[in-house]
Amino acid sequence: MQLPTVSLIVASTRTRRFADLPLAWLRERLGARADLSLDVLDLREHPLPFFDQPKPPAWNRRAYANEAEATVGRSLDAADGFIVLTNEYNHGYSAALKNLLDTFFVEFQHKPIGFVGYGNVGGSRAIEQLRLVAAELDMVSVRTSVHILGHQMRQLAEHPDTRETVWEGLEPRLELMTDDLLWWANALAPAREEDDALAS
């Protein structure tokens, strides 16, 4: 059986961003798993124009307005599940991430999504908002999320020699979240294939 593809979406687009530290950790840990194939969708590397379609993507499936949308759309389509690495701005998630979520629909539909957040309270407020959006996109948001708290962010940034201790502490939740995400990814992939076969 083909390994499920997990797309790791990086939400922060800042030139100098904290996201790069957890991104390196996630690349390493998720990349080492034998039960998934990892793909990284970094929104800084794939800037999308602000959504400007005449109809909602849920009605007008895969009607990409430009090459940037088509490239990202194909990458999302190939995923069986998503892990979003999210920052928290003003108790919400980033505008770039909302633009991504609004620009596509069927590419997300009937797939699981999990969250790794960072901020004073581990990006919790952004993540809880993202769960509501995921429900509207007809996705399953997995119960466990990973939260990198403010004091851990400081430790990671200011004391590089102790980074491994922080990552080790977060590892069990990452494992739990990923295991759950893969359970859903493996369960839903055949059902999506059946839908595609009926539609074609």
Which residues form the interface with ligand FMN (CB under 6 A)? 12, 14, 17-19, 87-91, 119-120
What's the closest the beta carbon of residue 3 comes to ligand FMN, in angstroms? Answer: 29
Residue number, nearest CB to ligand FMN: 119
Tokens encoding 9: 């979406």
What's the closest the beta carbon of residue 161 comes to ligand FMN, in angstroms? Answer: 20
What's the closest the beta carbon of residue 13 comes to ligand FMN, in angstroms? Answer: 8
Q: Which is nearer to ligand FMN, 16 or 143 (CB)?
A: 16
What's the closest the beta carbon of residue 28 comes to ligand FMN, in angstroms? Answer: 18
Which residues 6+ apart lie within 8 Å of 112 measured at CB? 81, 82, 139, 140, 141, 142, 180, 181, 184, 185, 188
Query: What residues are paired with 40 via a beta bridge?
Result: 8
What's the closest the beta carbon of residue 14 comes to ligand FMN, in angstroms? Answer: 4
What's the closest the beta carbon of residue 54 comes to ligand FMN, in angstroms? Answer: 32
Residues belonging to the chain: 200
CA distance 57 to 100: 11
Q: Which is nearer to ligand FMN, 127 or 182 (CB)?
A: 127
Residue located via tokens 């980033």: 94
Is the torsion defined by CA of 156, 113, 59, 67 positive or negative? positive
| Residue from 103, 117, 5, 91 nearest 46 by CA | 103
Q: Which is nearer to ligand FMN, 97 or 139 (CB)?
A: 97
Q: Which is nearer to ligand FMN, 147 or 192 (CB)?
A: 147
CA distance 76 to 167: 27
CA distance 62 to 74: 9
Q: Which is nearer to ligand FMN, 89 or 183 (CB)?
A: 89
Rounded to the nearest 10 degrees, how much is the dihedral formed by the CA atoms of 180, 186, 188, 194? 180
Q: Which is nearer to ligand FMN, 80 or 88 (CB)?
A: 88
